[in-house]
Amino acid sequence: MSKLNEPFESKSKFAARVGVTKGRISQLVAAGLPVRGDGSIDIEAALAWMEANLDPAKRNKGGAKREDIAAGGAAIRGGAGTASGMPSLGEARRLHLIVQIERAKIALQQERGKLIDADQASVTVFNRARAERDAHIAWVQRSAPILAGELCSDPVKTFALLDKLMREHLEHLANTPLDVLKNAASS
């Protein structure tokens, strides 16, 4: 496994990353896979090249279309499949390589710390929302006596009204869908 944030690696390590042999990498280099002068491979550039040049939908040479890949099969066009409707061995290998490239991209992003755990993100957002709610409620408790003194009103009634209004406001925010808040923030 390469070091974190290291943008280059040997052909052998890159072959292991994308799940092909070193010989296949040499074939791809001959076909135009970008290689540095010292023989190492720029990971991101090579993955982008592989996606652009090995994707049958972009090559349009009888391989499966993206819709066919997403549906889990390949259409029979120009010898892309067998008479039974199953993909040919060559087509299956291309589809397999596409999946390997996508996995390698995800692994690279994970190595660089650019992917986050969805469960951890949910816990963090929940904890942040709870802390903000508690801060708003504490603000009411601190501000009500000051407001009552400035207005010469009953501190208990001022607190009760301010607390009621803040809790209604927080409940409204909690019930507002995120896309509504996002649209309101951008306008």
The pLDDT tens digits for 13-49 are: 888 888 888 888 888 888 888 888 888 888 888 888 8
Query: Angle, to 10 degrees, between the axis of helix 118-151 and the axis of helix 155-175?
Result: 150
pLDDT at 114 over 60: yes
Is 49 a member of any domain?
Answer: yes
Both 98 and 142 in one domain: the answer is no
Question: What total number of domains does the chain contain?
Answer: 2
Quick check: is 1 in a domain?
Answer: no
CB count, 10 Å around CB of 53?
Answer: 13
In a domain, 3, yes or no: no
Distance, CA of 136 to chain centre:
33
pLDDT of amino acid 83? 56
Same domain, 145 and 102: no
22 Cβ neighbours under 8 A, 6+ residues apart: 11, 12, 15
Q: Of the candidates 111, 138, 158, which is a domain's last residue?
A: 111
Final residue of a structural domain among 70, 90, 111: 111
Query: Any idea which of 15-19, 81-85, 140-144 has the lowest mean pLDDT?
Result: 81-85
Domain co-membership, 81 together with 132: no
Mean per-residue pLDDT over the chain, rounded: 79
In a domain, 132, yes or no: yes
- Residue 156: pLDDT above 90? yes
Distance CA 164, CA 136 (A): 12
Considering the domain architecture, whether residues 144 and 182 belong to the same structural domain is answered as: yes
Of all helices (H) and strands (E), which one includes residue 22?
Answer: helix 22-30
Identify whether residues 32 and 106 lie together within a single domain: yes
pTM higher than the cut 0.85: no
Identify whether residues 22 and 44 lie together within a single domain: yes
Q: Are residues 164 and 180 in the same domain?
A: yes
Last residue of a domain, one of 111, 141, 175: 111
Q: pLDDT category, 60, cuts 50, 70, 90?
A: very low
- Which pLDDT band holds residue 102 (cuts at 50, 70, 90)? confident
Give the number of other CB atoms < 10 A from CB of residue 90: 13
pLDDT at 63: 42
Instruction: List the domain range (segments joined by +) for residue 19.
Output: 8-111
**Assigned domain for 66 exists:** yes
DSSP state of 75: -
Same domain? 105 vs 162: no
pLDDT at 77 over 50: no
